Structure 1
């Protein structure tokens, strides 16, 4: 049985000030009491969470290339997207895979869930692997522009070296794929 993490250095919230409420994230500034009795401020981004899919077709991984305004450049990433309120995780992963790549998965297997930037954000990302894919139609969001391609593990590793792939979810997916090739299981 897994033992929960200790809250040994828990910070008590004294006040919380909403700063911004957007379509994807909200920002708040909290005043907290530190374990030593002092106070500090914490800027916190709230996010509904997201799903991402490591989609494999034979010996290739589906990726999308899209411009990321926050970075000021295009990135190659695995299909992913934000969760809708109370959306089932598996259904969300299937939705994102089909919307961005046109492929449907017979089944998805959960690989991991992880926090993307726990120092200032509560976004949790749920990573799935999809195999046995069937080609369908792409259904991009109205503000989404991307290209889909399939790449080999060697290409993915090269893209990481070139920083064409530099986001945590895609790097984690590439490493999971590499481990799968070595061990035969996810």
Structure 2
């Protein structure tokens, strides 16, 4: 058997925190080389992100206050997957709530781990096209502070290179949709 192909053995698992969006646990594992240790992990249901593109090629983004970052970040609209919910349903809801747009054409372009060193969160990325601005968008969540902005792909890339506060899921998502823009 190749090195690393045998999974570690779970010896003990302890839930330290049960939260609204994620859980935090510590697991004791025995590795295939017989070494033992503890690993901390944030267990997250995953998320879905939309990369909305207008007919004239502009990206629909949001500027959103993020407590952990202590500021407003430029992001694509996204949300946490609810229990028993398909990522496509999540992203359709979030684009409407966060931007006031509805997409009539969707393409799943990929997925990625956010931070596999300490979390199992996976983000599903969708390209959203054939947009319609809703006359009456659904209300935003009560705990969100969001402003919708439009940027060309080049403007977003320049903002990233200049160090403007753009979150990593949006940077990764832009890379995944680039061939379709």
Give the TM-score taking structure 2 as reference length. Answer: 0.91
Summarize the Cα distance change of 1:119–1:31 in structure 2 as closer, same or farther, 3 Å threshold.
same
Summarize the Cα distance change of 1:138–1:158 in structure 2 as closer, same or farther, 3 Å threshold.
farther
Quote how far apart the aligned CAs of 1:7 are.
Answer: 5.7
Unmatched segments (≥5 aa) in structure 1: 1-5, 182-186
**1:95-143 per-position Cα deviation (integer Å, ceiling 9, x unaligned):** 0000000001112110001111111111111000010010111521010
Q: Pick the aligned partner of 1:99 from 88, 97, 100.
A: 97
Partners of 1:167 and 1:92 lie apart in 2 by 19
Aligned: 1:16 with 2:29 = no
CA RMSD of aligned residues (A): 1.6
- The residue number in structure 2 matching 1:184 is none
**1:4-43 per-position Cα deviation (integer Å, ceiling 9, x unaligned):** xx96152111000110000001000001101211210000
Partners of 1:21 and 1:141 lie apart in 2 by 22
- The residue number in structure 2 matching 1:39 is 36
SS at 2:53 equivalent: strand
SS at 2:160 equivalent: helix
**1:24-71 per-position Cα deviation (integer Å, ceiling 9, x unaligned):** 010000011012112100001000110000000021000000121112
Summarize the Cα distance change of 1:39–1:72 in structure 2 as closer, same or farther, 3 Å threshold.
same
Aligned: 1:48 with 2:35 = no
Checking the alignment, whether the CA contact within 8 Å between 2:52 and 2:127 is kept in structure 1 is yes
SS at 2:140 equivalent: coil
Q: What are the within-5 Å matches in structure 2 for residues 80-95 of structure 1?
A: 80-95=78-93
Summarize the Cα distance change of 1:84–1:123 in structure 2 as closer, same or farther, 3 Å threshold.
same
The aligned length equals 176
- The residue number in structure 2 matching 1:110 is 108
- The residue number in structure 2 matching 1:141 is 141
Quote how far apart the aligned CAs of 1:155 are.
Answer: 1.1
Checking the alignment, whether the CA contact within 8 Å between 1:74 and 1:164 is kept in structure 2 is no
Give the TM-score taking structure 1 as reference length. Answer: 0.89
Summarize the Cα distance change of 1:7–1:108 in structure 2 as closer, same or farther, 3 Å threshold.
farther
